[in-house]
């Protein structure tokens, strides 16, 4: 079995950082900016979609004999890639060289017989392998699909020699792996098969952090149901005087159509979709969506439709991440730092979202002197006729050809940028100013909100409208503290540590530890507890014949 992936490395001209780029497909040539080895998002997506269509997901016994397993599969054609992973059991993702092999494999699959239960005979590319030879003990290598716990990361970073190395190491341990990306596209492809029962020509594509280059292992899977690809949906010019039209059901608004489509798909996924659980229809949101968990992949899935602006913002984020490796390194580091301190959360609420945080990093990089990345208006100016895009009255035009973008020569290190980032937002005039990556300059706030970040494409919207003053205050306090920590000799320099011992957390590792300020504040709060409360604890501890908790 050959791995499809060859890795090409190149040295970034400004930073001297070694960057790896996946290689190895015919699409690459046409869509690559040869000078820098960068590929367009659409080329990456087309390749991944192709792989996903040739793949199946098979639940296996943990002691499956790998050789026998491959021999069994190869009766249907060449396997180009496979890997095992764990998610509510052991699964294998298997990719064939040819699509026909999948059809041949499915031909062989049977509907199981069960007693005491009934089954919905809905066939998908999610299968179970039965009665294959087992080996004595588990020898399979499971590909991790989640990140290591933060404490392990802190230990790993503490052993690095510089803050630059720490930032790179953090990104390497958090970013999506090749395998996890394949799994994401496969889940989209499986869902597309289900939706194709209603809309045979539809496409389901991932967007957001699964594909914008800033995704962390374990992040949610945002998907868009693309109905625009259905032929004839965009007005055609009739070829002759006579013409035919489909008779279609009508609804009062575009939004009502989206809601009804998502509602029906939600039913289908809920009632028929193998492995799909906890389906929620969130149809009254600004952007209606279906939310569910896909157990065989462990992904939390969000499916939206008619959300083309979000696809554009995904492309924009991807482009910025490709322009200079420092963009991704910094975004990963800031996102991880924010998560470690509860500045961001997986639950929606009044806190800053990862998307807002990413825009804040981009804005900061535009404000460097010289700027590391150009403004969105500059990217719009470089656009060619094919890049023109207006969605629901919003101008979403920007250049797609990387080679047209000239970067300024900024040589700041990751360490400098990290310190400067904290300084920048520790002192930013949040009260008066709005963050604006279109102009690359702060603007007067158009409306009252603690944090105002202009949506790059829907410019009348505030990306961080949900954020309250308390959450913004926590962010600013942490920026101040992190900036201070990076200026202290004890925390900002490597601690070494005796051989075999884990060094004391320093640099970025120190920044990821629980906040000192939060600790002091909570100690003060405990001291302020009413006397009656303290007496009660004391009495209780005496009753139990124990020492009261001194902390
Ligand atoms: N998005 C947007 N405007 C918003 C929120 C989101 O345009 N106010 C788009 C962005 O393209 C974003 C995508 O929707 O990347 C998905 O949103 P979300 O899942 O909230 O953010 P992610 O970038 O995917 O980050 P995470 O890893 O936290 O899921
Ligand atoms: Mg997301």
Name the residue among 505, 493, 515 with its Cα closest to residue 163. 493
- Other beta carbons less than 10 A from residue 499's beta carbon: 5
What ligand has the least distance to the C-alpha of 176?
Answer: 1
Whole-angstrom Cα distance, residue 238 to residue 232?
11
Residue 428 — left, alpha, or beta (φ > 0 → left; ψ -120 to 50 → alpha)?
beta
Tell me, what's the pLDDT at 33? 66
Q: How many alpha carbons lie under 13 Å from residue 491 in its C-beta half-sphere? A: 16
* Ligand 1 mean position, distance from CA 353 (Å): 8
Is residue 107 classed as helix, strand or coil in its secondary structure?
helix
Residue 18 confidence (pLDDT) above 90: no
Residue 395 CA to its chain's centroid (Å): 25
Per-residue confidence at 3, pLDDT binned at 50, 70, 90?
very low
What ligand has the least distance to the C-alpha of 217?
Answer: 1
Tell me, what's the pLDDT at 14? 37
Q: In what order do the strands lie in the sheet with 289-294?
A: 203-207, 221-226, 299-305, 289-294, 276-282
Summarize the confidence of residues 292-306 as an average pLDDT: 97
Tell me, what's the pLDDT at 489? 87
Tell me whether residue 346 is exposed, middle or buried, using C-beta atoms within 10 angstroms of its C-beta: 0 to 12, 13 to 18, 19 or more.
exposed
Best residue among 174, 316, 355 to mutate for probing ligand 1, ranked by most atoms within 8 Å of CB: 355
Nearest-CA residue for atom 2 of ligand 1? 310
- Contacts with 192 (C-beta within 8 Å, 6 or more apart), sequence order: 202, 203, 204
Tell me, what's the pLDDT at 538? 52
Per-residue confidence at 241, pLDDT binned at 50, 70, 90?
confident
Summarize the confidence of residues 35-64 as an average pLDDT: 91
* Ligand 2 mean position, distance from CA 176 (Å): 13
Whole-angstrom Cα distance, residue 44 to residue 243?
38
* Ligand 2 mean position, distance from CA 187 (Å): 15
- Other beta carbons less than 10 A from residue 545's beta carbon: 6
Counts for the chain of helices (H) and strands (E), in that order: 18, 17
Best residue among 181, 208, 307 to mutate for probing ligand 1, ranked by most atoms within 8 Å of CB: 208
CB 217 within 8 A of CB 144: yes
* Ligand 1 mean position, distance from CA 350 (Å): 15
CB 288 within 8 A of CB 225: no
Nearest-CA residue for atom 12 of ligand 1? 208
Index of the ligand 1 atom closest to the CA of residue 309 = 7
Per-residue confidence at 543, pLDDT binned at 50, 70, 90?
low
- Contacts with 274 (C-beta within 8 Å, 6 or more apart), sequence order: 122, 124, 126
* Ligand 2 mean position, distance from CA 356 (Å): 12
Best residue among 41, 212, 222, 346 to mutate for probing ligand 1, ranked by most atoms within 8 Å of CB: 222
**Of 295-309, 512-526, 535-549, where does mean pLDDT reach its minimum?**
535-549
Residue 27 confidence (pLDDT) above 90: no
Summarize the confidence of residues 333-359 as an average pLDDT: 96
Whole-angstrom Cα distance, residue 479 to residue 425?
7
Tell me, what's the pLDDT at 490? 85
- Contacts with 147 (C-beta within 8 Å, 6 or more apart), sequence order: 153, 173, 174, 216, 217, 218
CB 173 within 8 A of CB 157: no
What ligand has the least distance to the C-alpha of 207?
Answer: 1
Index of the ligand 1 atom closest to the CA of residue 219 = 27
Write out 491-508 in H/E/C secondary structure.
Answer: HHCCCCCCCCCCCCCCCH
Residue 24 confidence (pLDDT) above 50: no
Tell me, what's the pLDDT at 389? 96
* Ligand 1 mean position, distance from CA 399 (Å): 21
CB 167 within 8 A of CB 330: yes
Per-residue confidence at 23, pLDDT binned at 50, 70, 90?
very low
Index of the ligand 1 atom closest to the CA of residue 311 = 11
Tell me, what's the pLDDT at 542? 52
* Ligand 2 mean position, distance from CA 207 (Å): 8
Residue 16 confidence (pLDDT) above 50: no
The CA angle 365-485-522, to the nearest 5 degrees, is 115
Tell me, what's the pLDDT at 503? 84
Tell me, what's the pLDDT at 25? 38
Torsion of CA 340, 344, 346, 348, to 10 degrees: 160
- 141-173 per-position pLDDT tens digit: 888 888 999 999 999 999 999 999 999 999 999
- Other beta carbons less than 10 A from residue 238's beta carbon: 10
Residue 536 confidence (pLDDT) above 90: no
Distances (CA, A) of 541 to 256, 430, 447: 61, 47, 53
Summarize the confidence of residues 78-98 as an average pLDDT: 96
Summarize the confidence of residues 11-24 as an average pLDDT: 37
Summarize the confidence of residues 222-249 as an average pLDDT: 82
Index of the ligand 1 atom closest to the CA of residue 220 = 29
* Ligand 2 mean position, distance from CA 220 (Å): 5
Residue 283 confidence (pLDDT) above 80: yes
* Ligand 1 mean position, distance from CA 219 (Å): 11
Summarize the confidence of residues 403-430 as an average pLDDT: 97
Index of the ligand 1 atom closest to the CA of residue 344 = 28
Summarize the confidence of residues 71-79 as an average pLDDT: 96
Residue 13 confidence (pLDDT) above 50: no
Tell me, what's the pLDDT at 551? 34
Nearest-CA residue for atom 7 of ligand 1? 310
Pocket-forming residues, ligand 1, beta carbon under 6 Å: 207-209, 212, 215, 219-220, 222, 310, 313-314, 353-355, 463
Per-residue confidence at 533, pLDDT binned at 50, 70, 90?
low
In this prediction, what percent of the chain has a pLDDT beyond 90? 74
Distances (CA, A) of 279 to 126, 266, 276, 289, 306: 18, 7, 7, 11, 20
Residue 21 confidence (pLDDT) above 50: no
- 181-218 per-position pLDDT tens digit: 999 999 999 999 999 999 999 999 999 999 999 999 99
- Other beta carbons less than 10 A from residue 538's beta carbon: 12
Tell me, what's the pLDDT at 296? 97
Mean pLDDT, the chain, whole residue set: 88
Tell me, what's the pLDDT at 534? 53
Summarize the confidence of residues 441-453 as an average pLDDT: 97
* Ligand 1 mean position, distance from CA 508 (Å): 26
Residue positions counted in the chain: 551
Index of the ligand 1 atom closest to the CA of residue 209 = 24
Distances (CA, A) of 154 to 145, 481, 506: 19, 18, 9
């Amino acid at each position: 079995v050959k791995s499809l992936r060859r890795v090409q490395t190149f040295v970034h001209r400004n930073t001297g950082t070694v960057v790896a780029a996946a290689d190895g497909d015919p699409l690459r040539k046409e869509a690559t900016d040869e000078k820098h080895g960068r590929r367009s998002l659409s080329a990456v997506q087309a390749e991944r979609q192709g792989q996903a269509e040739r793949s199946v997901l098979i639940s296996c016994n943990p002691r499956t004999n790998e050789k026998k397993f491959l021999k069994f599969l190869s009766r249907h054609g060449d396997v180009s890639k496979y890997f095992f992973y764990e998610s509510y059991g052991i699964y294998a993702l298997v990719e064939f060289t040819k699509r026909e092999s999948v059809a041949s494999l499915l031909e062989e699959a049977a509907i199981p017989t069960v007693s005491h239960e009934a089954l919905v005979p809905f066939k998908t590319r999610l299968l179970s392998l039965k009665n294959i030879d087992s080996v004595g003990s588990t020898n399979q290598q499971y590909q991790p699909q989640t990140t290591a716990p933060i404490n392990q990361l802190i230990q790993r970073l503490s052993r690095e020699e510089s803050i630059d190395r720490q930032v790179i190491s953090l990104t390497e341990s958090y970013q999506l792996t090749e395998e996890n990306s394949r799994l994401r596209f496969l889940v989209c492809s499986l869902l597309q098969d289900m939706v194709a029962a209603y809309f045979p020509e539809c496409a389901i594509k991932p967007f957001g952090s699964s594909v914008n280059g800033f995704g962390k292992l374990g992040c949610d899977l945002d998907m868009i149901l693309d109905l625009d690809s259905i032929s004839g949906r965009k007005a055609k010019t009739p070829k002759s005087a006579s013409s035919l039209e489909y008779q279609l059901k009508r609804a009062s608004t575009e939004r009502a159509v989206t809601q009804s489509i998502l509602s029906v798909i939600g039913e289908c996924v809920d009632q028929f979709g193998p492995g799909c659980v906890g389906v929620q229809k969130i149809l009254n949101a600004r952007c209606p969506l279906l939310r569910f968990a896909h157990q065989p992949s462990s992904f939390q899935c969000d499916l939206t439709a008619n959300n083309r602006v979000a696809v554009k913002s995904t492309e924009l984020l991807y482009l910025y991440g490709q322009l200079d490796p420092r963009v991704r390194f910094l975004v990963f580091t800031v996102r991880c730092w924010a998560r470690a301190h509860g500045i961001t959360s997986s639950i929606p609420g009044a806190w800053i979202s990862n998307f807002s945080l990413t825009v804040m990093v981009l804005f900061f990089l535009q404000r460097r002197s010289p700027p590391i990345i150009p403004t969105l208006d500059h990217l719009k100016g470089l656009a060619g006729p094919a890049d023109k895009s207006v969605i629901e009255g919003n101008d979403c035009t920007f250049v797609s050809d990387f080679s047209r973008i000239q970067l300024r020569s900024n040589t700041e290190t990751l360490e400098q940028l990290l310190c400067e980032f904290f300084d920048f937002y520790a002192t930013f005039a949040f009260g008066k100013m709005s963050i604006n990556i279109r102009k690359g300059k702060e603007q007067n706030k158009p409306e009252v909100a603690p944090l105002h970040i202009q949506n790059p494409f829907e410019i009348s919207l505030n990306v961080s409208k949900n954020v309250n003053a308390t959450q913004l205050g926590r962010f600013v306090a942490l920026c101040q503290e992190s900036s201070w920590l990076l200026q202290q000799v004890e925390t900002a320099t490597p601690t070494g540590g005796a051989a075999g011992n884990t060094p004391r957390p320093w640099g970025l590792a120190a920044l990821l530890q629980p906040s000192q300020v939060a600790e002091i504040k909570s100690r003060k709060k405990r001291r302020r507890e009413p006397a009656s409360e303290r007496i009660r604890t004391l009495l209780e501890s005496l009753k139990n014949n124990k020492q009261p908790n001194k902390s």
